[in-house]
Amino acid sequence: MEEKERVARILDTLEEHFPDARLLLEFNNPFELLVATILAAQAPDERVNQVTRTLFQRFPTPQALARASLSEIEEVIKSLPYYRQKARFLKESSSILVEKFQGEVPPDLSELTSLPGVGRKTASIVLANAFNIPAIAVDTHVARVSQRLGLASSSSPSKIEKDLASIIPPERWIRAAHLLGFLGRTTCLARKPRCPECPVREWCPSADSL
């Protein structure tokens, strides 16, 4: 079986098992998603959602967040890891959005990654989920599952992204990230994968060795 056919079967099967696979961060617009994704580094999505509900009530726009003091932002997000650094990222990024992009989140990878606290994964999440622009966001779950399924040979997120992009058609990139991520969250766990329960076990070269 060719690799493109194998990954197609994997994705088709995961679609049947996880039809509701999606991004778990809550957002209403590209700015909210950008902020939530910056805050989500090393933090559970559920906790981030709790924090952003309060944050967006107080600072609903880039202009409002840019005007806020660091101490005000820190007070709202202090339950999250690295909250001081993240507060600085939010304030600086919001200021740049206002000054350079007329208060709008740019739908462009290079422009997004020019913002403080925004790496390629964060930018890909925003492009895919806020703008529906084909992108593969490689988080820890996607990376782990891709390696175990033999879809990627490197541990580098950027190389994993390239490997996946070479065997998955662009129109499936967004769904692929969601589906692989859900498999990682529910079944292909980091410490103790549930191989007997895995819906794509028959196509997994790691199933008998984990």
Buried-exposed string 137-151: b where 16+ CB fall within 10 A, e elsewhere: bbbebbbbbbbbbeb
**Same structural domain, 127 and 144:** no
39 in the same domain as 114? yes
Phi-psi region of 42 (alpha: psi -120 to 50; beta: other; left: phi over 0): left
**Residue 179 located in a structural domain:** yes
Please check whether residue 164 lies inside any domain of the structure. Answer: yes
Predicted pLDDT of residue 209: 76
Q: How far apart are the first and last CA of the chain?
A: 23
* pLDDT-based confidence at residue 208 (cuts at 50, 70, 90): confident
CATH number at residue 85: 1.10.340.30
Domains held by the chain: number: 2
Q: Is the pLDDT of residue 49 over 70?
A: yes
Give the active site residues.
121, 139
Q: Write down which residue in 131, 154, 174 finishes a domain.
A: 131
3-state helix/strand/coil string of the chain: CCHHHHHHHHHHHHHHHCCCCCCCCCCCCHHHHHHHHHHCCCCCHHHHHHHHHHHHHHCCCHHHHHHCCHHHHHHHHCCCCCHHHHHHHHHHHHHHHHHHHCCCCCCCHHHHCCCCCCCHHHHHHHHHHHHCCCCCCCCHHHHHHHHHCCCCCCCCHHHHHHHHHHHCCHHHHHHHHHHHHHHHHHCCCCCCCCHHHCCCHHHCCCCCCC
d(CA 26, CA 33): 7
Is the distance from CB of 68 to CB of 91 less than 8 angstroms?
A: yes
Residue 123 domain-assigned (yes or no): yes
pTM of the model: 0.94
Domain assignment present for 209? no
Domain final residue, candidates 86, 110, 131: 131
**What's the pLDDT score for residue 68?**
98
Same domain, 64 and 109: yes
**What residue numbers bound the domain in which 85 lies?**
30-131
Say yes or no: 73 and 91 in one domain. yes
* Mean pLDDT calculated for residue range 31-41: 98
- 185-205, pLDDT tens digit by residue? 999 999 999 999 999 999 999
Q: Residue 106 class from Cβ within 10 Å (0-12 exposed, 13-18 middle, 19+ buried)?
A: buried
- Convert the pLDDT of each residue in 50-106 to its tens digit: 999 999 999 999 999 999 999 999 999 999 999 999 999 999 999 999 999 999 999
Question: Are 109 and 85 in a shared domain?
Answer: yes
The string of pLDDT tens digits covering residues 118-148 is: 999 999 999 999 999 999 999 999 999 999 9
Shared domain for 143 and 126, answered yes or no, is no
CA distance 122 to 67: 23
